[in-house]
Each structure stands twice: as C-alpha cells, then as structure tokens.
C-alpha cells in the first residue's frame, strides 16, 4: 500500500475533518485505491520511523487548476475558515507553484485511523 503524507494537516486527518487533498503529481491514482495516511513519509531523520495515521480509500481523483478550489472544498481540505483564494495563497507558497498549476484533487474516505487523542 502506498503512503501519502499529511504533515501539514495531521490533526485534520486524525479528526476526520479532512476528506479532500490536493497534490502535485499523483496523476495515476484511481477510485477504489487504498493509501496509508502518514504524518511524514519523506525526509525522515536517521532512526526516525514513519508514523501511520490511518488507511483511506480514494473516492475520486481528477486533475484541475489550483485556482478551481471552492470555499466548500476548503472545508473538506480541513480549513473551514479559509476562502479558496486564501487556500491558493497558502498552497502555492508551501508547494512552490502558482494558481494556474494543475494539481490532483483527491477525495477519500477514512477506513480506519488513530484517534485524535492517540488512544
């Protein structure tokens, strides 16, 4: 099972308030695929291990321009107080891209996850 990082939205993932994510790449992803959500998948320090957050199943995956995000999707992304424009600003700054960049919009459902309180 392929890992997918939620380092910027770990709490939203754990709280299950995140059901959509936008990614650079991931173009071959198909509905029905299962992925393992992790806190961090790459850039691990020596001796550091992947922290699994939970398994997800892809509901849909499509390519669209970053600027196509709606305010409703900001809620699904785990940022209920952001507008689409604010999300684009944050995403483009963090991912070093721009509003016209084509991203993969991935909608998913949680299969299982570690509870937010860690129990």
The answer to whether residue 73 sits within a structural domain is: yes
The answer to whether residue 103 sits within a structural domain is: yes
Domain at 34, CATH number:
3.10.400.10
Along the 119 residues of the chain, how does pLDDT read in single tens digits?
999 999 999 999 999 999 999 999 999 999 999 999 999 877 667 777 888 999 999 999 999 999 999 999 999 999 999 999 999 999 999 999 999 999 999 999 999 877 655 54
The answer to whether residue 118 sits within a structural domain is: no
What's the total number of domains in the chain?
1
Contacts of range 50-54, beta carbons closer than 8 Å, 24 or more positions apart: 50/3, 52/114, 53/6, 53/10, 53/13, 53/14, 53/113, 53/114, 54/13, 54/14, 54/110, 54/111, 54/112, 54/113, 54/114
**Domain range enclosing 81:** 2-113
pTM given for the model = 0.90
The answer to whether residue 89 sits within a structural domain is: yes
The answer to whether residue 10 sits within a structural domain is: yes
The answer to whether residue 66 sits within a structural domain is: yes
């Amino acid at each position: 099972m392929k890992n997918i990082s939620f380092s910027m939205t770990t709490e939203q993932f754990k709280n299950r308030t995140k059901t959509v994510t936008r990614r650079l790449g991931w173009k071959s992803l198909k509905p029905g695929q299962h992925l393992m959500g992790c806190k961090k998948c790459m850039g691990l320090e020596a001796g550091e291990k992947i922290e699994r957050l939970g398994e997800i199943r892809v509901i849909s995956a499509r390519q669209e321009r970053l600027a196509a995000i709606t305010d409703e999707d900001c809620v699904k992304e785990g940022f209920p107080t952001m507008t689409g424009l604010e999300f684009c600003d944050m995403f483009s700054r963090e991912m070093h891209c721009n509003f016209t960049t084509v991203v993969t919009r991935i909608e998913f459902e949680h299969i299982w996850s570690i509870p937010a309180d860690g129990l």
